[in-house]
Every structure is written in structure tokens, then in C-alpha cells.
A and B are shown apart, each in its own frame.
Chain A
């Protein structure tokens, strides 16, 4: 009885696990890793800009320092957003 139940479970799970092997797919053309990486970077930059703004408003950061730190962050954010959009465009096309 136990053996039967165990065998049923084993066969069921094995079928579940082996199923993808019978439907080989081509490796995806896109690079999901890269997109995820860009998204992570974008969110981090946005968060940094938000915190920088909050620091400036609460007087923690002088206006000149604020400008000096904001500019590189913003330009990087812009380039990351651009890269994301181009990535999307490629996906749409392909």
C-alpha cells in the first residue's frame, strides 16, 4: 500500500519534471538578465535622487553640493532609461 502510493507520487512528479525536456526551446534572444540589471539600476538611481532631494529640503545638503551630486545621477538615470527603452524596442521588433 505504501509502496504503491510512493510509486504513484514518484511517477507523477517525474513526469512533471521531465515534461520540459520533450519540448526543447531555443535560448531566448533577449537578455532578461540585462533588463533586470537595468531596472535595478534605474530604481536605485531614482531612489538616490529622491533621497538627495529630501536631504536638500531638510537642509542636510547645501545647494551647490546638491547640484554637484544631482547632475551625474540624473545623466546616468537618463542613459539607463534610454537603454531600457531601446531594449524594449528591440523586443517589440523581434
Chain B
């Protein structure tokens, strides 16, 4: 009762803010100004009040979880007396209702920072930006309070709750949803800024800078969330991979792609005032795709690993998504004449042109992935045919598109603005290209795979080119006698050098992706003592241990791994039965080396055909036979290493860039004829 009331209070203040903020604005001589600042102040405070209310509601839910208040149905559904503290904490967002509350809360926090902080750069966008976040919060809040209330009381108060789904009991699942939600919800603020910019026609440098700042954070969270989600899928779900092109995974990828495109494309507007329509479009697209993602996962339209049970709230999200898309793009079309610039691309070989192609590739990839994701929906709606789009489709698109993007990432930094020459680019990249060829040609011949060699060639090209540019920058600084050249490089041009690091990380990840070409797997049934070989390793199944702990029956198999007679490791995969959840849950055993992962699943037992009695899981000890499913996953290590590199590079760019670019000493107002030595080039 109190919980739902708090959510509704938040909705009330959100509605107030959405009305008060634009009411404080007045249009004078074609320019929007704040006519009644006290009203805007009140609206800003209302947004903070929204965040305060949602914070209280969230704390209340955590309180209920930690005090095991099973009079609340949600608490009884997702936790039990035996649930460990960390998982009681993460049970908050483990199911639909709580995750919606989390969404609202994070959105409200972002909005409060946006509206509450006193920053002159954001001020022009508050009047028309607050209603955008306000209406968003209002919609999601009402849906939560009225249709998906986590504080709904239990009809019958149980003695103990059901407990947290064992699949969700892993460290990854504690962080993965909040990270992703911080990504999704955060894109509402750049949307608000874009809408405000369109209404007030402030679409120049000030819009860009604020929008860029506000896109960077959710972009980082989405990226990190996707990587963690992949790591969780790999270590917990046990199908042997880390990315299945699941609709829910795509739901996070799509806004991320749009946001990445924007972060790149904004550089062109900043430098040359071009691609203004593109930039607004990309921000709108990112925000719309984020809402689309939540619509997909919550409406139950597509069956996948993550989808919550079917629920009528899907139609509310669809309506909101339609409204947000129409308003945003409507405004864009309305302001089109204002956004168009007189600038034109001077040459197809130029950095502007490279960024334009970059935009096209990113948007193209986004559209094709989106199409593949919703194709089942469309065909079912139109023809009644039920089909599913599998990973081969997505892999087939993204491999060539990805390679093109990587090549572009290598070319971009080495082609000048306005006009460059192909010969100069080739000259600059011949070193990295030579390195790439030197590495991949022997590899390709030895491993006899053209696809693998091509992808690795592109990845090494990008890695070598990025490293070469970093080295070049450090070298020139050292030549001018700068004290710490590396730090100076990152501090004066954080965007550039952080960008090189990120590209380097992506290149490394791509090598990891390429390893998939040589994936193999096998299934083996073994009695205790049996030996078998696979992928050049020798295995021996030692025994199967059975034990019982409070909330599960544990079956643990002991498997020795050797190579050439030398024992490398002992792996202990498990197959456990949770009485409350009626499903077996595997603990995967993985042996990781930079070259490959050995991924061992205890798949189960096999019917005992001597005597005809089926060998069930509970009788595995008597039967003694187990079934192993073993994957060889080459180069997966580099996916995680590259991801870490990219995240570090992004953080470096963010943090190092906090320092203002070194301000020049105030020049005496120079007459234009005077030769002023640039003070900013130190």
C-alpha cells in the first residue's frame, strides 16, 4: 500500500513537472526564454521529488525482501529464508514487477540529475526537456503502479518464499540487469535534450556538447551490460556460447549501435557543422530503440530465454513507443529546413566522408538486425506463418559489416578533414597492413580457413594502426620535450587516444569472435574410470559425487584433463536439482587458456539398458554412468580481454576529458592581422 502510494506520488509530481516546465517558457521574437523562473525552479524540484519518491519505494521493497516479508506476493515469489544476502539484494529485479520499479527508479535518478544540477550548459534545454522525461516517467510509473505492482499483497501468506531462480543466482546476474537498465533509461535524457533542441531551435554546438555528455554514460552501461550478459550466458546457461542473437540481446545491441554511431557522427558536426540531421536522428533512434527493447521483452511477443510471462502491459509500451517515435521524428521533419546546412562534402576521400560511411554502415546494421528480430512478428501478423530467425542469419550479416567497420576505424584517424588522398592513406597504413598480412597469411595457410584469416587480418590491421597512431602521438610529444608524453597525450586529446584504446579493444574482441570458426563439441557417456579423447586432450571420468544441501540436490562429476600424458586440470561440472524449481541446473566447468576454452557440461545420465530400468538423475550414483558434453571454444579469452580493454579505453576518455581543454592565456583582444601564436598547442 505504501509502496504503491509512493509510486503514484512520484507520478503526480512527474505530471506536475511536465506541465510546469514548459509553462515557464515564453517565446519572444522567435526565441524561447524563461519567462517565469520560479515555475521552472518548481518543476526542477518536482523532478527531484519524483526521484526521492521512487528511491523511498525502492528502499521499501528492499526492506521487505531483507525482512522476508512474505505478505507481499513478489517477495514470496522471488526469495526465501534460505536466499543469501547478495541474491536477496538482486531478487529486487529478478522478475517483472521489481524490474519495472528498477527501471522507473533509474529513469527518475537520471532525470533528477538532468533537471536538478545547476549547469549553465543544460539550462536552455530544461523547459522542453523536462516534459519529455516527465511523461516517460509518468507512463512507466503508472504501468508499474496499476498493472505490475511489486507491492501487491499475497493472497495467502506463505511460511516461506519460493526462492530465487537458481539460474539467476550468480554474481553476473546481480550486476547485469542494473547495468543494462542504467543504459536503457539513460537514453531518455538525450532524447529530452534533442526534443528541446528541436523545439527551441538550439541545434548547434551547445546542443551537441550536452547531448554527447548525456549519451556517453548510458552507452558505456549498455556496452558493459552486454558484455556481462554474454559472460553470464557463457558461464551459467551452458549452451556453450556467449551471444545467441536472442531478441533480448538484440534489444540492448540496437540502441547501443545507434548511440555509437552518434558518438562518432557528432565529431563531424563539432568540427564542420555538418550531419546535423543525422545527429538528431541518431539520438532519437537510440532512445526509441531502447523503449522498443523493453516493449519486446515485456510483451511476451517473442519467446526467448529471458522473456517474462506474457502480460497485457505490452500494449501500453507499444503505445508509448509509438508516441515517442512520432513526436520525435515529427519534430525532426518540422525543423528540417532549420537543420540543413550549406556545407557539403568536398571530397569522397575525407574524414567527413569516412564518418558518413560509418553512419550508413551502423544504421544499416541496426536496420538489418532489427528486421531479423521482428521478422517473426511481421510474418505471423501478415501470413500466420510462425518462423524463427536463427544465429546464422545475424552472423552472416555482421561478419562482413563488422569487417568493413573495422577497416573504416583504421582509415578514419589517418585521413584528413576536407580532402585527403588515397595514396597518403595507403602510405600511412602500409605498416599495419604488412603486420596484418605477416600474421594472418601463415595462420590462414596452416589452419586452412579463408574466413578466419580475413577477419583476423582486419582485426590485426585495426590493432596495429591504433597502436601506431598512439605511438606516433607519444613520439612527437617526447620530441618536443614534454615531461610525461603518454599522460600528456591522453590529457590533451582524451577523445582521440581513448578512442584508439577502444578500437584496439574491439579489434582484440574480433579475434576472439573469429575463433568461433574452429568451435567443436562432442558428447560422451562414461563409467567411472573410463578414458576418452577429444580435440587433442585426454579425459578420464573419475567419479560422480552426490550430496544434498538446503535447497538443492547436488550431482558433481570429477573429470581429469591431460595432454600428452601430463595432467592439466581436474574439472568438476555439476548437474543439480532444485525441488522448488522443477528444473535441473548445470554448473559448467571451464578451463580457460588464451588459446582456447575447454567447456564441460554434465549433461546427465543415460538409460541403463542392462535390466531395462531407466537410470534417473536421482539414481545416477547407482548407475554410475554420466554423460559429458564438451565444447572446445577457441580464443574466447580474447573476447573478454578485448572487452575489458574497450571499457577501460572508454572510461579513460571520459575521465581524462573531464579536465577542460587547456584554456589559452587570455589574449589581448587580437587584431586579426596580428600573428598570435597558438597557446593551445602545447
Contact (Cβ within 8 A) B205 A41: yes
Partner of A78, one of B121, B208, B416, B670: B670
Q: Report A-chain residues with C-beta under 8 Å of the C-beta of B121.
A: 36, 39-40
Q: Report A-chain residues with C-beta under 8 Å of the C-beta of B428.
A: 60
Interface residue ranges of A39-94 to B (CB < 8 Å): 39-41, 43-44, 46-55, 57-58, 60-61, 65, 69, 74-75, 78, 81-82, 85
Given A28-B37, A50-B681, A82-B669, A35 contacting B664 (CB threshold 8 A): no
Contact (Cβ within 8 A) B33 A27: yes
Complex Cα–Cα for A52 and B469 (A) = 15
Q: Does B16 contact A (CB under 8 A)?
A: yes
Complex Cα–Cα for A51 and B16 (A) = 46
Contact (Cβ within 8 A) B6 A9: yes
Min Cβ gap B235→A in Å is 42
Quick one: CB contact mask for B34-70 with A, threshold 8 Å, 1 for yes?
Answer: 1111110110011011001100100000000000000
Complex Cα–Cα for A81 and B416 (A) = 26
Of listed A2, A6, A39, A61, residue having the most chain B CB within 10 A: A6
Contact (Cβ within 8 A) A50 B680: yes
Min Cβ gap A53→B in Å is 4
Given A16-B49, A33-B124, A43-B661, A27 contacting B493 (CB threshold 8 A): no
Complex Cα–Cα for A63 and B424 (A) = 15
Contact (Cβ within 8 A) B676 A78: yes
Quick one: CB contact mask for A1-40 with B, threshold 8 Å, 1 for yes?
Answer: 0110110011001001111110111111000110111011
Min Cβ gap A15→B in Å is 10
Bin the interface of chain B by size.
35 or more
Complex Cα–Cα for A61 and B418 (A) = 11
Q: Report B-chain residues with C-beta under 8 Å of the C-beta of A46.
A: 661, 663-664, 680
Partner of A33, one of B41, B202, B208, B469: B202
Complex Cα–Cα for A54 and B38 (A) = 47
Min Cβ gap A80→B in Å is 10
Complex Cα–Cα for A51 and B493 (A) = 8
Min Cβ gap B166→A in Å is 34
Min Cβ gap B165→A in Å is 30
Complex Cα–Cα for A55 and B417 (A) = 10
Contact (Cβ within 8 A) A23 B38: yes
Q: Report B-chain residues with C-beta under 8 Å of the C-beta of A36.
A: 120-121, 123-124, 206
Complex Cα–Cα for A21 and B124 (A) = 20
Q: Report A-chain residues with C-beta under 8 Å of the C-beta of B56.
A: 9
Quick one: CB contact mask for B660-681 with A, threshold 8 Å, 1 for yes?
Answer: 1101101101101000101011
Q: Does B446 contact A (CB under 8 A)?
A: no
Q: Does B1 contact A (CB under 8 A)?
A: yes
Residue of A nearest to B270 (CB): A44
Q: Does B101 contact A (CB under 8 A)?
A: no
Q: Report B-chain residues with C-beta under 8 Å of the C-beta of A54.
A: 473, 476, 493, 496
Q: Report B-chain residues with C-beta under 8 Å of the C-beta of A82.
A: 669
Complex Cα–Cα for A6 and B223 (A) = 38
Min Cβ gap A45→B in Å is 9
Q: Report B-chain residues with C-beta under 8 Å of the C-beta of A53.
A: 678, 681
Can you report 7 A-B residue pairs in the complex whose CB atoms are below 8 A from each other? A6-B2, A6-B5, A20-B45, A41-B204, A52-B417, A65-B419, A69-B417
Given A9-B9, A13-B53, A47-B661, 15 more pairs with CB closer than 8 A: A5-B2, A13-B49, A16-B45, A17-B13, A20-B41, A21-B38, A33-B123, A33-B206, A37-B124, A40-B205, A44-B270, A61-B416, A69-B417, A74-B678, A81-B669
Per CB-CB distance, the 6 closest pairs between chain A and chain B, nearest first, are: A33-B124, A20-B41, A37-B206, A2-B2, A40-B205, A13-B49
